[in-house]
A = this chain, B = another copy of it.
């Protein structure tokens, strides 16, 4: 099978795993459960659980203990999308061609569905304790997952981004936003995979650096595509950053430097990954495709 065939197979597998941990749409609280499932089932590339699972494989992980964590990180990611779309935030009515959660279920239910997903992520991750009560890595994995998702991670980056809307942003602040808002959850995905597979402290640190590079290159590539792509290629509006007066890596550094930096950052991340004795060819290819993507 070529890369794309394997990716599709893995994606299907991941979707099945996520489904296992979604709530049954029953009981008096069926509506909030429906809203949560609606959000998660909107789909997407399941990039974070995929990176988590492949990093777990990289370090020889073979147990199903990774599965609740894979579902958990996708719930955390989806929670952030649901709340980002709210009227008080980005006020988006559509995402991936479907109505956003609060448009479909009302604003109160949008807030509660996001809360419900964030909390369900930890309920789900904690299920790993029932699977392997004596596994010494689960506690640390939950700590890292939570740390990378909160105000020192994703939510912190999101809060700075919200506050900076419509203002000029310094390169230092932009780096902070990118590192936290996009990077932190990718770091959390890959680190959790490494930790649960029992990788050494040094290797978990190295994976954190790889993931930070991947996250940053991914985000800069996003800025580049916004100005160089066509609507057809990207599948969403282009030049949205300019329309929103948004400071991006491209508006600060220019398109040429942005391209050079994506190349440099991603080459460094791949070199770190290649320096490991452990190998996962699919993970390497996945990282490459992420950075060089056209949409």
Give the interface of A toward B (CB within 8 A): 23, 27-29, 31-33, 36, 79, 83, 86-89, 106-112, 114-116, 118-120, 122-123, 126-127, 129-130, 133-134, 136, 138-140, 142-143, 146-147, 149-152, 155-160, 162-163, 173, 176-177, 180
Contacts and interface: CB of A to CB of B under 8 A. Distances in A.
A67 to B, nearest CB: 16
A181 B228 CA distance: 50
**Top 5 A-B pairs, shortest CB-CB distance:** A129-B139, A32-B159, A88-B107, A126-B143, A119-B150
A72 to B, nearest CB: 10
A108 B88 contact: yes
B146 A126 contact: yes
A107 to B, nearest CB: 4
19 contacts: A23-B151, A28-B156, A29-B151, A31-B159, A32-B151, A32-B159, A88-B110, A112-B155, A112-B159, A114-B115, A116-B150, A118-B118, A119-B146, A120-B150, A122-B122, A122-B146, A127-B143, A129-B142, A138-B139
Contact of A119 (B109, B118, B129, B176): B118
Contact of A159 (B86, B107, B109, B177): B109
A126 B138 CA distance: 10
Contacts of A36: 151
Contacts of A106: 88
Nearest to A159: B32
B150 A123 contact: yes
Nearest to A151: B116
A253 to B, nearest CB: 19
A159 B118 contact: no
Contacts of A123: 143, 146-147, 150, 152
Given A150-B120, A151-B32, A155-B32, A139 B160 contact: no
Given A112-B158, A139-B138, A158-B112, A149 B29 contact: no
Contacts of A143: 123, 126-127, 129-130
